[in-house]
Chain A
Amino acid sequence: MKSVKPLILVIEDNYQLHILLRTTLESFNYQVVTSLTGQEGLVMARKHQPSLLILDLGLPDIDGQELICRFRKGSEVPIIVLSARDQEEDITQALDHGADDYLTKPFSPSVLISRINALLRRVAKNPSGGANEVFRVGDLTIELTRRRVFVGAKEVNLTPIEFNLLSELVRHAGFVVTHRHLLEKVWGVSHIEHSHYLRIYMGQLRHKLESNPASPRYLLTEAGVGYRLNENN
């Protein structure tokens, strides 16, 4: 494993950013191929079979959303989306189309590296996308099949919905999960528009699991997009 450097394909129309990403990623032991357009990106992806994609949403030739759908048709390759700020809707859409995570420009290269590492780790551990039986972060322990949750040594009682919500986040630990995804998985398709259910249950979960619910350490809000379960405290 160590001998082969993972290959990352960057599809981004700003050439200066290619230089930055190539330099940064190569210094962290990744191989980088770049493409300035969506069309070229599709060809490169077929040719190089990259381990991960970094995709700018605002490409000159193909709409970013469309590109994500095309990639998702034949592959499970992790996709990190780059977007300008204030495009929560675009981000949400991209995630719902199958992107795995997002970063808004300007972004910090170190955050990008940690997201890439996390995604590649997940793929390596669970090719099928499933989660570990036991999830631990800080003083929080979640046992998925036994449906038990502990804060420190103390077991916490969760309602079925609270537990389903939490386990959905555990399945994507470290990554943002959109409101739509959570509503669909926990309450069903009929409740996709009822986002207030999600807010109320997330509030209840925080009160049960967080020491300071108004400044959560584990159950993080990504305003306008969704929630993220922090996996490294």
Chain B
Amino acid sequence: MTDPHHWKGGGKQYFNKYVYGNILLGLLVPSLLTLFDWPFRDLLTSSNILMFYLLGVFFIALHFGFLSSILASFTSAVAFAFFFAPPIFSLEIADQENLVGLIVMLVIGVVTSNQAENIRNQAKVAAQRERRASALYNLSKELAEARLEIDISDIGLRHINAEFGGENLFLFPDSEGRLSDSVLLTSHSALHSKLVLDIAEWVLKNGEMAGNGLVHFSSEALRYMPLNGSTGCIGVLVLESKEDGLLFLSDQRQLLDTYVNQIVHALERARSAEQAKTATLKMQAETLRSSLLSSISHDLRNPLATIVGAASTLDVNAAFLDNDGKKKLLTVISEEAQRMSDLTIKILDMARLEAGEVVLNKQWYTPEEIIGSAIRRLDKKLKDRKINIVMPEHLALIHVDAVLLQQVLVNLLDNADKYSPLALPIDILVEPSQNGLVISVADHGTGINEIYQQKVFEKFFRIHEESAQSGVGLGLSICRAIVEAHAGRIQVTNRSGGGALFKIYLPVLECPPSIDLEEKDDL
């Protein structure tokens, strides 16, 4: 009884069954009582018999409907008058006392029936409310967890379908304010064949309900409900009408309104969160652009000034320069040009990584080979530097983009070389970890102050803004971008003896492939 779904489909049949059952009960219980009392009619006083009838009425009133208990009251009254109140087998009642008893029983029967019916209705309403409250609770809980508009409309639709039945649909306007007809093109369901976009557009514009049985477009097959939010109508809910007119019942309408309100709120929340995010991103992009510009203008202009100056001196004043002077200027030009080249490459790398243009070309490599190729790329720079490499033999292959990972190591080694005294070695340690590989690069320099240990990985961050050593402040950001593209982590600490210790954690995401080993027949 507490589930309105029972009413759906074949409601009339159910109603008939309910009425006939009640009538049958209302007749049956007094008849049984009459049969039961009849043998004892001489032993029992008439008030006792009335009590039995009253008990029956009371029982029916408590457990069955109002109709059956009222019917039972009157049947009992008739049965008492006919069988027990003298003269028996006649409806006449001679005794004054019996008449009063009968009337009192009737009154009690009717009042009890009424009361019981009220209590039952209240219980029903309470149960209904509870169910709705829990349905609403579930809806709002799910909506609260959803972040994306698409998820919110899916959740909303699922709950509306479950509660109100039928096939239903949300329509949202596109960026130009038009309701999309893509749904119409992709679906061939009954709902879509009945859907009229023009009416949906009308509802969107006017913010009023329309469709089947309503003031506007009442001849339509579907109902269109506006999703009215704080910023106006944000979409349209299309509802399939049900025959029994469930949606017209005021409390169902109320519930639907509550559902729609919650969904609209969730959608608006998601939208404003999205807008806030876009705004933040835009702001970040602008800050990035301005710091990029200032970095580029500083770091490219300075070497350019030197190159242009030195080159024009060589060009115009060559006659006044001795060989030594010429050589010095040429060295300056080539060093500064090399620096510009490095910076340009870094800026381009970062731009490509940031733009998401870099597709990892992952293959299986030995860690040893990648470290070897990184050291080789810095061959000239590191020729006077001792590098200690500690790594276990027979390390598992790692699945990485060798060119990019090599770049990470080159940047780290380059930094270690720049910021530590030449006489002290650089240490490379490779060790397997619980679920991956850890590569450490450590130097014996001054280390990195704890307050900067996070910041050094940020773009354009430099500990010493204008130092001759520092580059454009992108090397470590590139490292982080590459390591993170491999689902790994990079961090820096200071080693106990002094000096920076960079650690790269690379997770093993899949097992290395096996190879068919050749027969062990050495040459």
Contact = CB atoms under 8 A, between A and B. Distances in A.
B366 interface: yes
A197 B515 contact: yes
A160 B368 contact: no
Interface stretch (A27-35, A47-55, A219-227): A219-227
Nearest to B380: A108
A158 B523 contact: yes
A152 B25 CA distance: 112
Interface stretch (B53-61, B140-148, B369-377): B369-377
A32 B512 CA distance: 50
B487 interface: no
Q: Among the interface residues B341, B365, B397, which one has the most CB atoms of the partner chain A within 10 A? A: B365
Contacts of A163: 523
Range for the number of chain B residues in contact with chain A:
35 or more
A167 B387 CA distance: 30
Interface string A84-101: 011011000000000000
B364 A196 contact: yes
Contacts of B515: 194, 196-197, 200
Given A196-B363, A214-B391, A88 B523 contact: no
Contacts of A58: none
Contact of B368 (A147, A196, A203, A220): A203
B52 to A, nearest CB: 94
B394 to A, nearest CB: 9
Given A160-B523, A215-B372, A216-B372, A195 B387 contact: no
Nearest to A230: B376
Contacts of B512: 196
A159 B341 contact: no
A195 B523 contact: no
Contacts of B375: 214-215
Contact of B389 (A161, A215, A220, A223): A215
A185 interface: no
A212 B375 CA distance: 12
A223 B403 contact: yes
Given A199-B365, A203-B366, A221-B372, A160 B518 contact: yes
A149 B365 CA distance: 25
Contacts of A160: 518, 521, 523
A152 B194 CA distance: 89
Contact of A157 (B349, B393, B522): B522
Nearest to A225: B403
B406 interface: yes
A86 B357 CA distance: 12
Given A215-B375, A215-B389, A159 B520 contact: yes
A161 B403 CA distance: 26
Interface string A202-215: 11001100001111
Contacts, number: 89
B389 A212 contact: yes
A86 B337 CA distance: 20
A199 B406 contact: no
Q: Among the interface residues A86, A88, A197, A222, which one has the most CB atoms of the partner chain B within 10 A? A: A86
Interface string A145-175: 0011000000001111101000000000000
B523 A199 contact: no
Contacts of A106: 337, 341
Given A160-B523, A199-B369, A214-B371, A224 B361 contact: yes
A89 B376 CA distance: 21
B402 A223 contact: yes
A222 to B, nearest CB: 8
Nearest to B405: A223
Contacts of B391: 214
Nearest to A224: B403
Contact of A147 (B369, B389, B523): B523
Contacts of A222: 373
Contacts of B366: 199-200, 202-203
B345 A223 contact: no
Nearest to A221: B373
B513 interface: yes
B341 A213 contact: no
13 contacts: A86-B349, A88-B361, A147-B523, A161-B518, A199-B366, A200-B366, A200-B515, A202-B369, A206-B372, A213-B368, A213-B372, A215-B375, A222-B373
Given A202-B366, A214-B372, 19 more contacts: A86-B403, A88-B403, A148-B523, A194-B515, A195-B364, A196-B363, A196-B515, A199-B363, A199-B369, A200-B515, A203-B368, A212-B389, A214-B371, A214-B391, A215-B371, A222-B373, A223-B402, A223-B403, A223-B406
Interface of A: 85-86, 88-89, 106, 147-148, 157-161, 163, 194-197, 199-200, 202-203, 206-207, 212-216, 220-224
Interface of B: 337, 341, 345, 349, 352, 361, 363-366, 368-373, 375-377, 387, 389, 391, 393, 397, 402-403, 406, 428, 512-513, 515, 518, 520-523
